[in-house]
Amino acid sequence: MKAAVCREFNKPLQIENIRIAPPQEGEVRVKLAACAICHSDITYMDGGWGGTLPMVLGHEAAGIVMETGARVRNIQVGDPVLVTLIRSCGHCADCENGQPYICATPFPIDEDSRLTSEKGEKVGPGLHTGAFAEEVVVDQSQLVVLPKDFPLDAASLLSCGVITGLGAVVNTAEVEYGSSVVVIGCGGVGLNAVQGAALVNAAPIIALDLVEEKLVAARVFGATHTINPLANDTAKQVRALTHGRGADYVFVAAGSPKAFEQGLDLLAPSGTLVIVGMPPTGQKIEVEAGNIAGSGQKILGSKMGSTRLRIDIPKLVALYEAGNLKLDELITGRYPLDQINEAIDEVRADKALRNVIIFE
């Protein structure tokens, strides 16, 4: 099969022929139809989170089941499936506590990648997935069976960007009806935080970004107001829109410590800052601790939108089928695998919301 391999950080991906081993116990082989490009893939490509090379990145995918290993349950050959990086053992403390999205249990595939180059070297699956490739072998917990006629390019977006942004609002923060919301950063994740706020009838919903085109998109996804911090006194405007209080919730979808600090300045007393974006390793923020305690404010981390795949994905599928969830509007361009570097460059340059690799 063909795959886009990262062999050096800060270098273009290389299209190579890769061998993929059959799935072992609890694993599934999927022929991919689509894989969206996420900024997390780019951060890995740039060396922001380290990692062992060579690796195949990509983790927002959907496709058709080709083969199942022993003890695979409720997944059959021919099923259309969503493929995500969320992987859970089902029996550790986090899984038992209803938090499978932070399961840290090691899996056999971590020690013995199912991918090898033509020369026989092991190639790691980035983010437990390796979906910039025609096929993947993943644990069964990373899959959700989709309706037979569900569009797989749209489905790929549910794997990370949608659930991370929307889930931060609905699951992590549990935003209440009528609460004021600010979203900092209107890429794919931020737009879905906006969309989540609209779904729970938050008001106002204020979107912040430095790129005007993204602010236009934020209006489409449900923002009631937009602010470009380069041209406005952001704190003053947010307070004017929230009766002088500041926002009940601020979601930081940009992987920027400066954005986290800005978010704190926009909070109301007793407000909640939700950190969604992930900056490169080693970056820190400064917090005036007394202000947090004195105002009764809260800071929450949100990993993958606190998503429980078997519960949340069917709900999102139903919302899309009812016309109440925007997925197609997130796709800026569709590219074949051999044009993946061009597709990545557009995302890196903020010229795309989500570019999707389409496999024939």
Q: Could you state, in order of their start, the residue ranges of all structural domains in the chain?
A: 2-159+326-358, 165-303
The average confidence (pLDDT) of the chain is: 96
User: What is the average pLDDT across 68-73?
Assistant: 96
pLDDT class for 74, splitting at 50, 70, 90?
very high
Tokens of 65: 């089941």
**Model pLDDT, residue 310:** 95
**Model pLDDT, residue 285:** 87
8-23 pLDDT, tens digit each: 999 999 999 999 999 9
**Model pLDDT, residue 232:** 83
Percentage of the chain beyond pLDDT 70 is: 100
Write out the DSSP string of 306-357.
Answer: G--HHHHHHHHHHHHHTT-S--GGGEEEEE-GGGHHHHHHHHHTT--SEEEE
**Model pLDDT, residue 342:** 98
Write out the DSSP string of 68-91.
Answer: E-TT--S--TT-EEEE-S----SS
d(CA 231, CA 57): 37
The listed CATH number (3.50.50.60, 3.40.50.720, 3.20.20.140, 3.90.180.10) that belongs to domain 2-159+326-358: 3.90.180.10
**Model pLDDT, residue 288:** 84
In this model, does residue 35 exceed pLDDT 90?
yes
Q: Look at the pTM and tell me if it is higher than 0.85.
A: yes
**Model pLDDT, residue 287:** 87
In this model, does residue 137 exceed pLDDT 90?
yes
- Residue 97 DSSP one-character state: T
Q: Which among 140, 123, 131 is positioned nearest to 160, based on CA atoms?
A: 131
User: What is the average pLDDT across 79-96?
Assistant: 97
256-310 pLDDT, tens digit each: 899 999 999 999 999 999 999 998 888 888 888 888 999 999 999 999 999 999 9
d(CA 34, CA 1): 15
Distance set, CA 182 to CA 23, 39, 192 (Å):
44, 21, 13
- Domain 165-303 matching CATH 3.40.50.720: the answer reads yes
Long-range pairs for 211-218 at CB < 8 Å and ≥24 separation?
A: 211/186, 211/350, 214/186, 214/187, 214/190, 214/350, 214/353, 215/186, 217/186, 217/191, 217/329, 217/353, 218/183, 218/186, 218/190, 218/191, 218/194
